Amino acid sequence: MSSSDLPASCVIFGASGDLTRRKLVPALYHLVKEGHFPAGLLTLGVARRPKTDEQFQAELLDAAQKYSRTKGVDPAVWAKVASRLGYVQGTFEDPATYAALKSRLDASAPTGTRLFYLAVGPDDMLGIVQRLAEAGLLAHDPASGRRAHVVVEKPFGEDLPSAHALNQELFKYLSEDQLFRIDHYLGKETVQNLAVLRFENMIFEALWNRNHVSHVEITVAEDIGIEGRGKFYEKVGITRDVVQNHVLQILTLVAMEPPLSLEANALRDEKVKVLRALRPLTGKDVGKEVVRAQYTEGLVGGETVPAYRAEADVDPVSKTDTYVAMRVFVDNWRWAGVPFFLRAGKRLSRRLAEVVVHFRDPPYPLFPESSGRSANVLVLRLQPDEGISLRFDTKVPGGNMRIQGVDMEWSYGKAFGGGGPEAYERLLLDALRGDATLFTRHDEVEAQWRFIDPIVQAYRDDNAPLSFYSAGTRGPDEAERLLVEHGQAWRPLL
C-alpha cells in the first residue's frame, strides 16, 4: 500500500510561525498536488493565537501562494487541502490544548499514522512530547496500523551533555523509530545523490580514497545575515548553528564506507563511523586548525549592511562567530592524511553550498605547465542550481601544446526540467512513511557534539582568536592559511 492510500493526520505545533508558512505549508501543498499524501489527510495547526479554522486556512493559502516553488497554487488542489485543514488554539503548557487536539483527531482521523511536527523552539520540545504522551496521543503499534511519529527541528541540544540528556528524556515517551530529528540539508537532491554518484558509478568510487584524492572542500556560504535572530545567535554562533549539523552531515556522506544496504540504520551506521574517526581538535590545536571570524559593515547586493555587533540584541563587543573555516582529518584507512576543509559563513559575497573533491596531480609532470593546479575537480552544487560538474584538462586547438581546463556540467534543472521537490517535501513524506534514512539518529547527534564541544571551549579559552571580515566578501584573509599550507587555495566565492 502506498503512502497516498494510508489514513493519516499531520499536526503542526507552532502553526503561526515562519517555518510553517515558508516551508511546511508549501511542502504540504505540493505533496497533496502530486498525490504523495493521502487524499483525506487531516492537517491541524496548534498555536497560541485565537483564530477560526477559516482564518487559519486563509493565512496558509496566502503562505502557499507566496512561497510555493511553482509561484501560485491550483485552486482545486488547495480546496482538497483546505477541506481537511483545521486549527486548535491553546498554549503548549495547558493539558486542555492536548485534550482538544485529541478530540479533533479521534473524531476525524481515529486510525493510521499521526505525524506531529514540532516547529517550535528547543525550550518547548520536551514539554510538548511529554504532554502528547500524557494525552495518549503517542500510542504506537505498527502491527495494528497505529503509528505516532514526531519530527523535531534543530538545534538538538546545545552541547554533548544537553543533547544526551534530551535524548534520554525523549526516550521516556518515544522509541528511536518514532523520533525524526530533521536536518533539511539531507533532503536536498544533490546531497541524496552523493550515495548514487559514489556507489553506482565505479568511475568515481574506485578513485574515492587517499590514493587519488588530494583534498576536499565543503562550503556552506550565505549572503544573508542573522535575520533578526540576535538573541539566538549570541548563544550559538555559526560553528554550532551550521557546522555541528549541516556541514558534518555532508562530510559523513562524502567520507562514509558503502553501507550494507539502503536501510536507514545501515546508512546511519556508516555515518557514525566517520564521525567517530574525526581527529579531535582541542585546546591550542584549535587555533592552528580553525579560523573563526565575525562580519563587519560592508556592501551586499550594492547595499550597505551593518556589522554583526550593530545588529539588534547583539552585544556591542560580542565575540560570536559568524564565519568559521577548519581543517579536519578522518583517521581511517580510506582517508588517512587527506585534509577536509570546511567553511561556513554569514554575510559572504554569495549564497553557495557545495562539495569540491580535488583529485591528485599526475605523479610525473609530462605537461609541466599544468602541474600543481589540481586539474581534476569534481564539484557537487547543493544550492543554488543543484548539479554536478567535472573539470579536466584538454589541449587547446592549434599548433602549440597548450593545456586548458574544461568543465562537464550537469544540472537538475536542465536534465529533468526543474530542480525537483524542496527538501521539506521529501522529509515530510519520509517522516509520514516512517523512513528515517534522511534523519539523524541519537548517536549521530551526540557524535557531532562530541567533536564540536572542544572547539567551542577553545573559543571561550581564547585559543582561537577572533578575526573580522567585511560583509559581502569571501571571508577573513586568515582562512587562506589553512589551504596555503598545503599548496592550495579555496575555490573562489566571488
Q: Is the pLDDT of residue 61 over 90?
A: yes
Which pLDDT does position 39 carry in this prediction? Answer: 67
- Active-site positions? 246
Q: What is the CATH number of domain 186-423+441-484?
A: 3.30.360.10
Which pLDDT does position 430 carry in this prediction? Answer: 92
Question: Which H or E element spans position 230?
Answer: helix 230-238
Which pLDDT does position 463 carry in this prediction? Answer: 94
Centre a 10 Å sphere on the Cβ of residue 336 and count the other Cβ atoms it contains. Answer: 12
More confident residue, 407 or 14: 14
> Where do the structural domains in the chain lie, given as residue ranges?
3-153, 186-423+441-484
Give the pLDDT band (50/70/90) at residue 301. Answer: confident
- pLDDT tens digit sequence for 111-149: 789 999 999 988 999 999 999 999 999 998 887 778 999
Arithmetic mean of pLDDT over the chain: 90
Q: What is the CATH number of domain 3-153?
A: 3.40.50.720
Give the pLDDT band (50/70/90) at residue 494. Answer: low
Q: Is the pLDDT of residue 37 over 50?
A: yes
Report the amino acid identity of residue 225.
G
Q: Is the pLDDT of residue 161 over 90?
A: yes
Mean pLDDT, residues 67-91: 90
> In Å, what is the CA distance from 150 to each residue of 178, 208, 443?
6, 36, 18
Which pLDDT does position 23 carry in this prediction? Answer: 92
Mean pLDDT, residues 42-52: 94
Q: Is the distance from CB of 7 to CB of 111 less than 8 angstroms?
A: yes
More confident residue, 142 or 432: 432
Percent of the chain predicted with pLDDT > 70: 96
Give the pLDDT band (50/70/90) at residue 314. Answer: very high
- pLDDT tens digit sequence for 439-490: 999 999 999 999 999 999 999 999 999 999 999 999 999 999 999 988 889 9
| Separation of alpha carbons 428 and 433, rounded Å | 9
Mean pLDDT, residues 151-160: 93
Which pLDDT does position 372 carry in this prediction? Answer: 52
Q: What is the CA radius of gyration of the chain?
A: 24
| Separation of alpha carbons 368 and 231, rounded Å | 54
pTM of the model: 0.92
| Separation of alpha carbons 381 and 18, rounded Å | 26
Coil, helix or strand for 462?
coil
More confident residue, 110 or 88: 88
Give the pLDDT band (50/70/90) at residue 2. Answer: very low
Q: Is the pLDDT of residue 70 over 60?
A: yes
Give the pLDDT band (50/70/90) at residue 3. Answer: very low
- pLDDT tens digit sequence for 213-239: 999 999 999 999 998 899 999 999 999
Which pLDDT does position 240 carry in this prediction? Answer: 96
Mean pLDDT, residues 47-63: 93
- Cell readout for 391 is 573539470
Which pLDDT does position 369 carry in this prediction? Answer: 64
Which pLDDT does position 296 carry in this prediction? Answer: 97
Q: Lowest mean pLDDT: which of 123-137, 239-253, 424-438?
A: 424-438
Going by C-alpha positions, the residue among 254, 489, 219, 474 that lies closest to residue 354 is 219
